[in-house]
Amino acid sequence: MIKNNIIYNSASDWSFNLKKAKGSYIWTTTDKKILDFTSGWNVTNLGWNNSEINKALIDQVRKNVYAPMETADSMQNDLAEKLTNSLPPSLTAVGRTTGGVESNEEAIKTARAFTKRSKILGFHHGYHGQSISMLSAVLEENEMKEIGPQISSVVRMEYPAVFRSKLSEEELLREFGEKLEKILKYEDIAAILSEPGIITGWGSTYVAPKGFTTLVRQLTKKYGTLLILDEVGTGFSRCGELYGMHIEDIVPDVVTFAKGFSNGAAAIGAMVTTSEIADKTWQVTNLQSTFGWTPVACAAALKNLQIHLRDKVWEKSKKDGEYMKKVLTKELWNLDNVGDVRGYGMEIGICFVDNKDKRTPDENLAKKVVSDAFQKGLYILYGSDGNIQLMPPLIINRKDLDKGLEILINTVKKINTS
């Protein structure tokens, strides 16, 4: 839709104009105060307009706001050092970007240049950005017919979502591993592009069986394929660990960041890889970004990372996420139209389904829950496949968390019985 001369993705009747935001609350231009369970889709993990981050940004504005690509502001150097120090020791080289899609494009270029292979493997209905190549990695040809043609050198697999399968987790993982190995054994796949065990970007909150990331890492090493972990949505404490790779303690060849990197204070992303890979590829990958890592964005990102490390925000995220799943499962699990409650940390999905078939998504019901909850003062988002993806700010206090859960639960129960 077009509103106020801006093109939006959604014409949903719960859209609104934002006036201000602070902590776990946002206000509309009509001065309606709303409790936020979205974090701007995993952006404002430390709460809206975090005062420490805003101050760091303002202080940097008074010093310098821009550095050309061929130079380096000291703030860029400080951020690169702090970021790589927070990662496994092998990940030491940073590509500067403005956001997630740019980070993932850099990752793919780097993987192709290093392996001398062209094919990229993605998972159907994952999400890694809006570019043609990123959409080609996750969508079928008919799903892109209006904007195609697709990039041809991509291979797509069905994501091994536990919810959609009738197999046990162990059987599902084994079946997936067999299918993946059949693809990788030809040794023509440059890289696998995946989030670490959960789909956040497309909003399905589909969770893979335990051991998924570990298995992918083992098979990619076996066949000389690189593993690119997209941590745009899972990074910065969202999933109960500082980074999603820590859930199964694996080390990728490349990792990408954006969204919660600066807590929404400025546009910034990163592609981080090993020095070995970077040394052999930088001359041909053209990692240029005019506005990648402005000193102002770096100041915000550096303070954001410092807060996560100082406060061990991931520990609260894990604890609160477990609490959310416990409450939601207890209150909603036995309702006819609720098929699943799933997720990691504070990335929780509630899947609404046809009451006669627990695996058939009910998109209309999910959207009605979103709309009705908004009227009661709770902001939540519809993702895909009948799923509402809950992403409260990680700093939310228990009183506000309970308030939001109460609104949501009452909304679902009322609709379920009407």
How far apart, in Å, are the Cα atoms of 167 and each of 21, 173, 199? 44, 9, 19
Please state, as a whole number, how many other Cβ atoms lie within 10 Å of the Cβ of residue 72: 14
Strand partners, 198: 207
How far is it, in rounded angstroms, from Cα 293 to Cα 13?
Answer: 36
Residue with the two structure tokens 């570990």 = 214
pLDDT above 70: residue 12: no
Q: Are strands 226-230 and 189-194 parallel, antiparallel or unpaired?
A: parallel
- Reported as a single tens digit per residue, the pLDDT across 13-47 is 457 889 999 999 999 999 999 999 999 999 999 99
The mean pLDDT of 55-72, rounded to a whole number, is: 95
The mean pLDDT of 145-168, rounded to a whole number, is: 94
In this structure, is residue 243 part of a structural domain? Answer: yes
What domain range is 200 assigned to?
52-311
Q: What ranges make up the beta strands (E) of 356-405?
A: 357-361, 378-379, 381-382, 387-390
3-state secondary structure of 315: helix
How far is it, in rounded angstroms, from Cα 345 to Cα 317?
Answer: 5
pLDDT at 416: 80
Question: What single-letter DSSP state applies at residue 340?
Answer: E
pLDDT at 7: 78
How far apart, in Å, are the Cα atoms of 225 and each of 186, 192, 308, 358? 11, 7, 32, 37
pLDDT above 60: residue 91: yes
Q: Chain-wide mean pLDDT for the chain?
A: 95
Strand partners, 191: 120, 226
pLDDT at 417: 75
Q: What is the pTM of this model?
A: 0.96
Confidence band, pLDDT 50/70/90 cuts, at residue 10: low
- Reported as a single tens digit per residue, the pLDDT across 319-337 is 999 999 999 999 999 999 9
Angle (nearest 5°) at CA 126 between 120 and 132: 60
pLDDT above 90: residue 57: yes
Cα 154 versus chain centre, distance: 21
In this structure, is residue 366 part of a structural domain? Answer: no
Answer yes or no: are the C-beta atoms of 104 and 201 closer than 8 Å: no
In this structure, is residue 202 part of a structural domain? Answer: yes
pLDDT above 70: residue 77: yes
How far is it, in rounded angstroms, from Cα 270 to Cα 259?
Answer: 10
pLDDT above 90: residue 11: no
How far is it, in rounded angstroms, from Cα 182 to Cα 394?
Answer: 40
Confidence band, pLDDT 50/70/90 cuts, at residue 152: confident
How far is it, in rounded angstroms, from Cα 350 to Cα 339?
Answer: 8
For residue 96, report the phi and psi dihedrals to the nearest 5 degrees.
Answer: -90, 130
In this structure, is residue 358 part of a structural domain? Answer: no
pLDDT above 80: residue 248: yes
In this structure, is residue 417 part of a structural domain? Answer: no
In this structure, is residue 76 part of a structural domain? Answer: yes
pLDDT at 274: 98
Q: Give the CATH number of the domain where residue 110 resides.
A: 3.40.640.10
What is the number of domains present in the chain? 1
Strand partners, 93: 273
In this structure, is residue 403 part of a structural domain? Answer: no
In this structure, is residue 152 part of a structural domain? Answer: yes
How far is it, in rounded angstroms, from Cα 290 to Cα 293?
Answer: 9
